[in-house]
Amino acid sequence: MTWVIKLATHLGTLKKKRFDNVVFSDHNKLVGVRNPDGKLLWIPVEYLEQFANCPDSFFNNLAKVIDNERVLVVGYAENNTDNKKVEARVNLKNKLIFLQEENSEEDLFPELKHNDFVELYGYITRGNEKANNLGFLYNGHIITCYPNEGYIKNYRQALFNNCLIRGFVERIDINGHAQKRPSIKFSNISINDPGGNQLRLF
Protein backbone atom coordinates (compact mmCIF):
# COMPACT_ATOMS: atom_id res chain seq x y z
CA MET A 1 0.00 0.00 0.00
CA THR A 2 2.83 2.40 0.82
CA TRP A 3 4.45 2.18 -2.60
CA VAL A 4 1.13 2.16 -4.47
CA ILE A 5 0.21 5.42 -2.76
CA LYS A 6 3.66 6.93 -3.33
CA LEU A 7 3.54 6.12 -7.03
CA ALA A 8 -0.07 7.29 -7.42
CA THR A 9 0.70 10.66 -5.83
CA HIS A 10 3.85 10.90 -7.97
CA LEU A 11 1.87 10.30 -11.18
CA GLY A 12 -1.23 12.18 -10.04
CA THR A 13 -3.43 9.18 -10.82
CA LEU A 14 -4.17 5.62 -9.82
CA LYS A 15 -5.53 4.81 -13.28
CA LYS A 16 -2.23 4.70 -15.17
CA LYS A 17 -1.44 1.07 -15.88
CA ARG A 18 1.08 1.52 -18.69
CA PHE A 19 4.68 2.55 -17.99
CA ASP A 20 6.74 3.95 -20.87
CA ASN A 21 10.39 5.02 -20.78
CA VAL A 22 11.08 3.44 -17.39
CA VAL A 23 14.71 3.04 -16.30
CA PHE A 24 16.31 0.43 -14.09
CA SER A 25 19.03 0.69 -11.47
CA ASP A 26 22.40 -0.98 -11.97
CA HIS A 27 21.34 -4.13 -10.14
CA ASN A 28 17.78 -4.06 -11.56
CA LYS A 29 16.29 -3.91 -8.07
CA LEU A 30 14.71 -0.47 -8.57
CA VAL A 31 12.68 0.97 -11.42
CA GLY A 32 12.48 4.69 -12.14
CA VAL A 33 9.07 6.02 -13.25
CA ARG A 34 8.69 9.54 -14.64
CA ASN A 35 5.67 11.72 -13.91
CA PRO A 36 4.18 14.24 -16.38
CA ASP A 37 6.72 16.85 -15.18
CA GLY A 38 9.63 14.52 -15.95
CA LYS A 39 10.48 13.91 -12.29
CA LEU A 40 11.80 10.43 -11.55
CA LEU A 41 10.60 8.27 -8.65
CA TRP A 42 12.61 5.15 -7.81
CA ILE A 43 10.59 2.24 -6.44
CA PRO A 44 11.38 -1.45 -5.83
CA VAL A 45 10.47 -3.31 -9.02
CA GLU A 46 8.15 -5.77 -7.25
CA TYR A 47 5.76 -2.97 -6.31
CA LEU A 48 5.24 -1.86 -9.91
CA GLU A 49 3.00 -4.87 -10.40
CA GLN A 50 1.07 -4.10 -7.21
CA PHE A 51 0.31 -0.66 -8.61
CA ALA A 52 -0.62 -2.00 -12.06
CA ASN A 53 -3.07 -4.50 -10.55
CA CYS A 54 -4.59 -2.14 -7.97
CA PRO A 55 -8.30 -1.41 -8.64
CA ASP A 56 -9.01 2.29 -9.13
CA SER A 57 -11.44 2.30 -6.20
CA PHE A 58 -9.26 0.33 -3.76
CA PHE A 59 -8.64 3.32 -1.45
CA ASN A 60 -12.12 4.85 -1.72
CA ASN A 61 -13.21 4.21 1.87
CA LEU A 62 -9.90 5.31 3.35
CA ALA A 63 -9.77 8.48 1.27
CA LYS A 64 -13.30 9.54 2.19
CA VAL A 65 -12.28 10.38 5.77
CA ILE A 66 -9.44 12.74 4.73
CA ASP A 67 -10.11 16.41 5.43
CA ASN A 68 -8.24 19.58 6.42
CA GLU A 69 -7.32 18.15 9.79
CA ARG A 70 -7.02 14.46 8.91
CA VAL A 71 -4.19 13.02 6.77
CA LEU A 72 -3.86 9.38 5.74
CA VAL A 73 -0.38 8.04 6.54
CA VAL A 74 0.69 4.55 5.48
CA GLY A 75 4.18 3.21 6.10
CA TYR A 76 6.50 0.56 7.39
CA ALA A 77 9.93 0.19 8.97
CA GLU A 78 12.61 -1.36 6.77
CA ASN A 79 14.43 -4.39 8.14
CA ASN A 80 17.98 -3.96 9.43
CA THR A 81 18.06 -0.21 8.83
CA ASP A 82 17.97 1.24 12.35
CA ASN A 83 14.21 1.77 12.29
CA LYS A 84 14.28 3.67 9.01
CA LYS A 85 10.68 4.27 7.96
CA VAL A 86 9.12 4.46 4.51
CA GLU A 87 5.93 6.51 4.49
CA ALA A 88 3.31 7.72 2.05
CA ARG A 89 0.85 10.53 2.85
CA VAL A 90 -2.48 11.47 1.34
CA ASN A 91 -3.80 14.92 2.23
CA LEU A 92 -6.75 16.97 1.07
CA LYS A 93 -4.77 18.21 -1.93
CA ASN A 94 -4.28 14.77 -3.46
CA LYS A 95 -7.35 13.08 -1.97
CA LEU A 96 -9.19 13.01 -5.30
CA ILE A 97 -6.52 10.73 -6.79
CA PHE A 98 -7.87 7.95 -4.58
CA LEU A 99 -11.60 8.63 -4.92
CA GLN A 100 -12.62 6.72 -8.00
CA GLU A 101 -15.77 5.25 -9.40
CA GLU A 102 -15.75 1.62 -10.41
CA ASN A 103 -15.47 1.32 -14.18
CA SER A 104 -15.16 -1.51 -16.64
CA GLU A 105 -11.57 -2.08 -17.63
CA GLU A 106 -11.02 -2.71 -21.33
CA ASP A 107 -9.52 -6.00 -22.39
CA LEU A 108 -5.74 -5.89 -22.17
CA PHE A 109 -3.91 -7.13 -25.30
CA PRO A 110 -7.05 -8.45 -27.07
CA GLU A 111 -4.78 -9.77 -29.83
CA LEU A 112 -3.53 -12.41 -27.36
CA LYS A 113 -6.23 -15.05 -27.77
CA HIS A 114 -6.90 -17.91 -25.38
CA ASN A 115 -4.67 -20.94 -26.14
CA ASP A 116 -2.50 -19.00 -28.63
CA PHE A 117 1.20 -19.91 -28.55
CA VAL A 118 3.27 -16.75 -28.10
CA GLU A 119 6.87 -15.60 -27.80
CA LEU A 120 7.01 -12.32 -25.86
CA TYR A 121 10.02 -10.20 -25.00
CA GLY A 122 9.92 -8.28 -21.71
CA TYR A 123 11.32 -7.99 -18.18
CA ILE A 124 10.80 -10.30 -15.18
CA THR A 125 9.76 -8.03 -12.27
CA ARG A 126 9.23 -10.57 -9.49
CA GLY A 127 8.79 -14.20 -8.50
CA ASN A 128 6.27 -15.60 -6.03
CA GLU A 129 7.19 -19.14 -4.99
CA LYS A 130 4.06 -19.54 -2.87
CA ALA A 131 1.77 -18.74 -5.81
CA ASN A 132 4.29 -20.28 -8.24
CA ASN A 133 4.15 -17.39 -10.70
CA LEU A 134 6.24 -14.60 -12.20
CA GLY A 135 5.51 -10.97 -12.99
CA PHE A 136 6.39 -10.09 -16.60
CA LEU A 137 6.59 -6.46 -17.77
CA TYR A 138 5.49 -6.48 -21.43
CA ASN A 139 4.72 -3.39 -23.52
CA GLY A 140 4.18 -1.30 -20.42
CA HIS A 141 1.88 -3.77 -18.64
CA ILE A 142 2.58 -6.58 -16.19
CA ILE A 143 1.36 -10.06 -17.09
CA THR A 144 1.25 -12.95 -14.62
CA CYS A 145 3.07 -16.05 -15.89
CA TYR A 146 2.92 -19.63 -14.60
CA PRO A 147 5.26 -22.52 -15.48
CA ASN A 148 3.61 -25.27 -17.51
CA GLU A 149 5.52 -27.78 -15.37
CA GLY A 150 7.60 -27.54 -12.23
CA TYR A 151 8.30 -24.55 -10.03
CA ILE A 152 9.46 -21.00 -10.59
CA LYS A 153 12.44 -21.59 -8.30
CA ASN A 154 14.00 -23.21 -11.38
CA TYR A 155 13.85 -19.80 -13.07
CA ARG A 156 15.57 -17.68 -10.41
CA GLN A 157 18.23 -16.63 -12.92
CA ALA A 158 15.53 -14.82 -14.90
CA LEU A 159 14.54 -12.48 -12.06
CA PHE A 160 15.20 -8.81 -12.84
CA ASN A 161 16.35 -9.58 -16.37
CA ASN A 162 15.13 -8.96 -19.90
CA CYS A 163 13.75 -12.24 -21.19
CA LEU A 164 12.00 -13.98 -24.05
CA ILE A 165 9.14 -16.07 -22.70
CA ARG A 166 7.43 -18.83 -24.67
CA GLY A 167 4.09 -20.34 -23.78
CA PHE A 168 0.32 -20.38 -24.20
CA VAL A 169 -2.11 -17.55 -23.49
CA GLU A 170 -4.80 -18.12 -20.86
CA ARG A 171 -7.87 -15.86 -20.75
CA ILE A 172 -10.32 -18.27 -19.08
CA ASP A 173 -10.27 -18.79 -15.30
CA ILE A 174 -10.93 -22.09 -13.49
CA ASN A 175 -14.64 -21.26 -13.38
CA GLY A 176 -14.84 -20.77 -17.14
CA HIS A 177 -15.10 -16.96 -16.99
CA ALA A 178 -13.32 -14.78 -19.56
CA GLN A 179 -10.54 -12.60 -18.12
CA LYS A 180 -9.77 -9.04 -19.21
CA ARG A 181 -6.05 -9.52 -18.50
CA PRO A 182 -4.24 -12.46 -20.12
CA SER A 183 -1.82 -14.72 -18.29
CA ILE A 184 0.85 -16.95 -19.81
CA LYS A 185 1.50 -20.60 -19.04
CA PHE A 186 5.12 -20.76 -20.14
CA SER A 187 7.28 -23.69 -21.17
CA ASN A 188 10.57 -21.85 -21.65
CA ILE A 189 12.36 -18.62 -20.71
CA SER A 190 15.47 -17.25 -22.44
CA ILE A 191 17.48 -14.55 -20.71
CA ASN A 192 19.99 -12.04 -22.03
CA ASP A 193 23.60 -13.18 -21.97
CA PRO A 194 25.44 -10.28 -20.24
CA GLY A 195 28.64 -11.14 -22.10
CA GLY A 196 27.42 -11.20 -25.67
CA ASN A 197 23.82 -9.99 -25.67
CA GLN A 198 22.78 -13.44 -26.80
CA LEU A 199 19.79 -15.38 -25.50
CA ARG A 200 20.65 -18.27 -23.20
CA LEU A 201 18.21 -21.13 -22.66
CA PHE A 202 17.82 -22.84 -19.30
pLDDT digits (tens, 9 = 90+) for 82-132: 667 888 989 888 888 887 654 445 688 999 999 999 999 998 888 888 889
Is 202 within 8 Å of 188 (Cβ atoms)?
Answer: no
- Residue 40: strand pairing partners: 34
In a domain, 138, yes or no: yes
User: Which one has a higher pLDDT value, 195 or 38?
Assistant: 38
Q: For residue range 56-66, list pLDDT tens digits in order.
A: 888 888 887 88
CA 89 from centroid of its chain's CA atoms: 21
pLDDT, greater one: 84 or 150: 150
Tens-place pLDDT, residues 13-31: 888 777 877 888 878 889 9
Task: Please determine, for residue 148, whether its predicted confidence score (pLDDT) is greater than 70.
Answer: yes
Looking at the 3D structure of the chain, how many domains does it have?
A: 2
Backbone φ and ψ of 97, nearest 5°? -60, -35
107 in a structural domain: no
What DSSP state is assigned to residue 55?
A: -
CA-CA distance, 27 to 189, in Å (whole number)?
A: 20
pTM of the model: 0.54
Residue among 51, 194, 59 nearest 126 (CA): 51
Instruction: State the residue range of the domain holding 137.
Output: 117-201
Based on the fold, state whether residues 197 and 143 are members of the same structural domain: yes
